Structure 1
Amino acid sequence: MQQEWFEMQAERRRPYAMQTWIPLRAFEGTREGDIAQLGYQEDVSCAVSVAVQATQRTAVEDVEWGDSGLSNTQGAYAFEDGRYKTAEAFEIEDGVDVGIQLVLAQYNPIGDQVWHLNQDLVLALALIEENHSWIRPDENYAVVAKRTFHSDGSIAGIHIRTDVLRDYLCARGMALRLLTYRERTTYEAMADHIEWPGGRIQVPLADGRFEGSVTRVLPGGYPEGATVAVHHVWRTDVDVEADVPVMSPETDEGTDYTHRRFTRTGPVIHRISGQSWRREWIEPATRSPRVRGDHEPSATTFIVNAAGDRQNADELNDEDIGLWLWFEPTIVSDLLALRGGKLEWYTHDTGGLQGEPGYSSIHFGINEAGLINVYARDVARLSEWHRRIWAGRNLYPNGRLSVELGQAHVEGRVADTTAPEARTTEALIAIDAAAQAIWGFPVFRPHNIQDRLLATVHRFRATNRDSLLELAKDVARLTADRMDTVALQAFAPVTPELGGTGSLKSLERALAKHEGAAQARALMGPLAGIYDLRVGAAHLPGSQISDAFALVGIDPAAKPYDQAVQLLTTLATTLEAIAVSIRASARAPAASSALTSTPASSRRRVT
């Protein structure tokens, strides 16, 4: 390796405070080859740290890597005089706490050390441990602290995001003292390319020191020409063959020994090493919005009127602001893509959107142009990261304020309408309840995908023809794909008049038992049309897609958003009609003897 690699000049100049992640505790690195043998190479990076109160900074200024004790495992200690040292406390002198350790390494007698992130830090920042990381739900479940591992699976480090650490330090009135050690070492046949005078160099750094060295060694790392002394001492006065041997205290007369020396020999190789020790302060932030709740000025703005004027989120964060904002409907998909995203419906054109845990749903309305309206304060009160998502979909006002939202906000009236999405959910439940009560089994098989599909079946998904067909595909998965064909066919077997073993045909036969074939076919027609749309993009010619549109009641000339509303309205109406039909079957006579499970002429009396 070249001399520059060992000297690590770029790394030595790079302050940790300017990096994205701070190692709170780390023993990381890479190793290649057999240790201390020709060709061996290692690059090791280590760090330990302690959070220190401002009044104790002087006490730790001169603490070095080697004498800090921070690299040891931690534990609590109870003194005989009644004093107690907590596991997190860092002491230079007994009884004098100068700081706390944010990572505690626990000795494990049956395996590798167990490293814990300080629980006060975890709780203060509202972190949740997940998959070797700590996430912060209040920041869209962002990873703010993480473990790293060696190739053998043992713990290597715990790092924390710099801005999050500094927020915590600010709230506690602390700074972090970070001690780091970096080493790069190789074992090479020659060292002529290293130009350190006499094979050694020492460079003082602003925050530590650097040392480089070239040493002639033998394979195994032994110094060239090293003399080894071997002493062998044994007892001569113990009868080990006795039934119960006894070994008395040692005496000169009862011992013997041998002694020899030898000089190690072998091919000479060169150990080339560069080492840096650094001490750095990670200063607290000036504000603590996460832990202490300090206000952080918003940089997010929104268009607030027809003149295109913009106002800052802080200015809009007022219950009496009296302004509404306009957004692209794709904001719904943006928020639903978040881990905490949720959509609920209040009326046909109003509902609630949630994208951030800890905040109530944002009341939205859909206007005549298909855009989303929201009261300005409802968006302005959100966290800054959440505001930015909304700001990215903010539009110049187009179309009047949502009628139903205006009724709710201005007139205090809730529109007497229901969204087809909400109707669909209720109708699916009603179908199963009716079928279970009257037929003895539910129409739909329970499946853990049901809730996820229901969450995706909404009008905002349709932005073009392809996405409309994708919506139809999920509707088919929610309905046709979940039908219990085995139970339906046992209840209404295939007949010459009504064949087909598919799920839709199976339900159609069950309905036909009391509705008659023609009416059952009419009831199921829209679901058949939706099923056809499912494969429309890949397999159906345009004429057949038009036929499917007609069955579902979709206007081919309408905007994709309006087509989605038409599809979902037809879906809800159809499912509601099926539920009504099943309930009515309890008091309706069979529509046709051909639909009974066994022809009358073949029945036998069983005694």
Structure 2
Amino acid sequence: MKLRAWLQYSDREKPPYNPTKGTTITIEGFWQNESSEFDSLDWRREEWLIHSALVPAEQLNMAACEIASPHDLTFEMGWNSKDRFSFGDYSQYGEIQLYALAQLVKHPISQDFSIELSREFVTYHALQKRNPSQYYHPIDNILVAETNLDSHKTYDPTARVIIHRDYLRDFLAALGMGLLISVIAERFANVAIEEALKFAQIEDEKIDEFTWISTNIHTPEFTRHDYFRGRSTIRRNFIIEPYDRPKFERSPWYYFGEKLVQESELPSFIVNDEGKRQPLPKDTYLGNYINSGIGNFGYLYFRPEVLQKYLHIPGYSVFFHMRNWGVASLPGDRGTIDVGINSQGLVNAFAPDIADLSLAEQAYWASFSSLPSGEICEEMFQTRMQQNPPHSPGVVDLIRDARSQLNAHFKHQVSIDLFSDTEPSKQELRRLSVGPVSNQFIEVLELAKLLYEWVIETMQIEPLRNTLSALGGAVDKNLRQIKLLEKILMAKGLNETQTRSIAAPLVSLNKLRIGSAHIGSPELEPVFQLMGASTMPETPRAGWSLCVETVVNCLCSIADTLQT
């Protein structure tokens, strides 16, 4: 860029000089750029300072016209001359009220600097601080704000704060405020002759909306060298206006108001065997769904992958309290959905529950809408429609009960708990409860790894060795859990064939776990045959069901053997 254009800030609309350009907005910042030495003819230097403040929406334009510098948007902490303590979150410029969105705090004793993002902003979006500088939205999983301390050679550290534009304007709408961003910059350049600067000296000339520039020239008498020095200063104010309304639909907080959505905007769902599509009526009785032919007793069909979001995205969850039936929950108490998986592997979901969701969430479910195939999930239908819940304990309860039963016998034998207190995480328990939701057997391998960690790796070696020793068996310190269990069974009088038959599901579980750690597709049919299957399970859910049942039966059989 030519010198005159540089001194006239021809690049002022480009980032980072315009802090409002792009997806993120810089609301606090300071930086310097310098080339060559101060007393050199080719010396160039620039400094940029950015401060901001929240301003009532009705005062926003007035503030942009009257506030002359970022220095007017500083917030001081401590005692003032009127013996009042200021927390550094409020200030005034004449009649204009100013509130801090971010504060640079200097500790009065340690002199350490820190940056505090507005508590209201963090609370409104329920932001998660995942590291010392970054704040993420808990549902969207998007970086919303970033705060950093920048160090300088001759200045104290300064704050650099950027905020995502969309979340900022949403917050402003909820607050009824706008954001004023004030920028001041200075550029200096040494030249041999005054004409090389190619500008006249001006004072606060308005060159654009909320934009003023001043220029002056220092002569050799001032610079004390044989050159002239040009200096230009730009002052700019930017206003960030709030949205017309807050984005209630994505708020992590429960919203009690009416979410106005035109019927034409609502997504459509497959509602019958012929593939008819229509939006779901809201705030109506189940009988109206049935009479209108929407679903089967109000239940719709979906591809099972619809549950992936609820299994893996933070804030969403799905847990099956019965073998194939449970509840899917949205973040921030934004709704629950009765869901189950039928014998054909399709998800059944209660249509009135989906109708209560936001437009975006309905659209997500609609994208997985499926033609009906098979019955409604039996456990769900028997319980909800027939008031006759079947006995069908969920996977988590089955495993917990089997572990508890086996643990009790070991504790009776050697007065030590067999299992440690370690449990899978909540997300892992949810995955175990639901089982595979795709047609890929890799899911069975991944779930088997979790099950192995819960059932086998939590077995403590000491009680296994003590039990084997108490039964008169020889203890080999190189043996791990499964082999020690086999030795215990044989010490109880079982022959090798009987022992291998009982322990086979645990051996198979270990093979599946090993398969999950290797590239490619392992040969699974022999593993399932070891579990007792005559042929390869047709679907991943059938394979997972076999795995769970045989492991539970194995643990119970070992417990029964110890009891005899």
Partner of 1:436: 411
Give 2:482's aligned residue.
504
Matched, 1:177 2:180: yes
Verify: 1:514 aligned to 2:492, yes or no: yes
Q: How does 1:391-470 map to 2 (within 5 A)?
A: 391-447=366-422, 453-457=428-432, 458-460=434-436, 463-470=439-446
Gaps of 5+ in 1: 217-222, 228-263, 589-607
Instruction: Name 1:249's counterpart in structure 2.
Output: none
Does the CA-based 8 Å contact 1:47-1:178 persist in structure 2?
yes
Alpha-carbon distance, 1:423 to partner: 0.8
Q: Residue 8 of structure 1 aligns with which residue?
A: 11
What SS does the corresponding residue of 1:470 show, helix, strand or coil? helix
| Mapped partners of 1:206, 1:344: distance in 2 | 58
**Change beyond 3 A, Cα 1:556–1:57:** closer
Return the offset for 1:524: 0.9
The alignment status of 1:324 with 2:288, answered yes or no, reads no
Aligned partner of 1:46 in structure 2 is 50
Q: Secondary structure at the match of 2:116?
A: strand
Q: How far 1:469 moved relative to its partner? A: 2.8
Match of 1:71 in 2: 74
Deviates more, 1:124-133 or 1:350-359: 124-133
- Which shows bigger deviation, 420-429 or 486-495? 486-495
Shift of 1:507: 1.2
Q: Which residue of 469, 482, 505 corresponds with 1:526? A: 505
For 1:548, give the aligned amino acid.
V
**Aligned-partner residue type, residue 532 of structure 1:** K
Query: Residue type of the partner of 2:147?
Result: R
SS at match of 1:510: helix
CA distance in 1, matches of 2:22, 2:520: 57
The residue aligned with 2:294 is none
* Counterpart residue number, 1:303: 269
Where 2:344 maps in the other structure, the secondary structure is coil
Equivalent residue, structure 1, for 2:459: 483
The match for 2:545 is 565
Moved more, 58-67 or 413-422: 58-67
Q: CA deviation at 1:452?
A: 6.2
Q: Is the 8 A contact 2:115 2:148 kept in 1?
A: no
1:346-385 aligned within 5 A: 346-359=321-334, 361-383=336-358
1:88 and 2:89 matched:
yes
AA partner of residue 271 (structure 2): N
Return 101-110 or 358-367, whichever deviates more. Answer: 101-110
Change (3 A) 1:31 1:121: same
Larger C-alpha radius of gyration, 1 or 2? 1
* Residues 125-164 of structure 1: pairs in structure 2 closer than 5 A: 125-127=125-127, 129-131=129-131, 132-137=133-138, 139-140=139-140, 142-150=142-150, 154-164=157-167
Residue among 20, 29, 32 paired with 2:31:
29
Normalised TM-score (structure 2):
0.78
Assess, with a 3 A threshold, how the Cα gap between structure 1 residues 540 and 113 changes in structure 2: closer, same or farther: closer
Residue 208 of structure 1 is matched in structure 2 by: 210
For residues 203-261 of structure 1, the C-alpha deviation after alignment (integer angstroms, 9 at most, x for no partner) is 73432335486867xxxxxx73338xxxxxxxxxxxxxxxxxxxxxxxxxxxxxxxxxx
Q: Report the AA paired with residue 102 of structure 1.
A: L
Identical-residue share of aligned pairs (%): 19
Counterpart of 1:255? none
AA paired with 2:444?
L
- For the residues of structure 2 that align with 1:97 and 1:226, how far apart are their CA atoms? 40
Q: For residues 262-283 of structure 1, what are the alpha-carbon distances to aligned partners after superposition, in whole Å with 9 as ceiling and x for unaligned?
A: xx44x75x76666532223322
CA contact (8 A) 2:315 2:332 kept: yes
Any idea what the Cα deviations from partners look like across 1:364-416, whole Å, max 9, x if unmatched?
Answer: 11112101111123234345554454344333333332222222332233222
8 Å CA contact 1:369–1:399 kept in 2: the answer is yes
- Shift of residue 463, structure 1, vs aligned partner: 3.0
Q: What's the counterpart of residue 65 of structure 2?
A: 62
Secondary structure of 2:54's counterpart equals strand
Q: Tell me, yes or no, if the aligned pair for 1:7 and 1:274 is still in contact at 8 Å.
A: no
Contact kept, 8 Å, 2:410 with 2:463, in 1: the verdict is no
Pair 1:226-2:214 in alignment: no
State the SS of the aligned residue for 1:156: strand
Compared with structure 1, are the counterparts of its residues 480 and 115 closer, same or farther at alpha carbon in structure 2 (3 Å cutoff)? closer
Aligned AA (2:270): V
What secondary structure is seen at the aligned counterpart in 2 of 1:226?
Answer: helix
Letter in 1 for 2:377: S
User: TM-score normalised to the size of structure 1?
Assistant: 0.73
Letter in 2 for 1:92: Y
Shift of 1:182: 4.5
Which of these residues, 220, 226, 236, is aligned with residue 278 of structure 1?
Answer: 236
Give per-residue Cα distances to partners, 1:286-333, cap 9 Å, x unaligned: 1122488663538562413134444457x4465646333322222333
Distance 1:551 1:75 in 2: 73
Q: Check the 8 A contact 1:499/1:505 in 2, yes or no.
A: no
